[in-house]
Structure 1
Amino acid sequence: MKKAMEDFDYLVPESNAAWLDGRGDGRFERYERFYQSERAVDAAGFDLERTNEGYKEWASRQPSRLLSLVSAPWFGRVAIVFFCLYMGCPLVPGLAKAMPEATGAMLVAVFIGLRIFHRRRRKKN
């Protein structure tokens, strides 16, 4: 008796079946957004073949995910915070041993300055 072969291709996230099912690395979601936007522009004269060729060009012009992540505004803010922590952690205790009153006054001034800065930004928005 001959066994029926089963297609387990859908279990692999990088497979075409998984891609068409909408699972995997997000390529299908990007294609679906592009497809829906193209179809919304001209529903009556929609041409799938032309849209697929246009997707190839559109996708090649899009920046990589890593580049998009690194160029996001929040990434820069987080990097600055970690850099300040990295520099401040050894610096503040050393200054506090040498000049405790001056270090305390400096920290109070920095915290007050940050509060004023954030309050002004909130008022602008």
Structure 2
Amino acid sequence: MSSQDHAGILLSHSPDGTGYKLLELPPEVLELLESQDCPTLTLHPSPTAALLKTPAKTYSLRQKNTSNALILLSPTSNSSDRDNVRQEISQAAAGLAIIATVHETVELVPEADEAAAAAPKARGKWHEKFARAR
């Protein structure tokens, strides 16, 4: 029996308009979130970055660009009339829709203490001159 007869899986591009970010969690934060008595985590502003505070630690949220994109997929079927474009593309089989492509991740970097997180570090005159323009 030939495997050439199978049409394959239909893949369509239909972004849903939602901006997605991938959040990279350190193991200790993941343990907190998965625990039976999960504490309240709070976000606070700082001059350099947003801060995520847990009962024991403070983390700085830093955005990183990645060269490898993450593609988010959603199953599609003929019975779904959520998107007319998908139905026009395929009347025959279920498939997958690319709903978003993520190029950035947000990582949590542990902060030494709150005083260090609040004050930006001096990096030299060149950096001070050009950083103000950004």
Same fold (TM over 0.5): no
Bigger CA radius of gyration: 1
Shorter-chain TM band: under 0.3
Structure with greater strand percent:
2
Greater relative contact order structure (CA < 8 Å, 6+ sep): 2
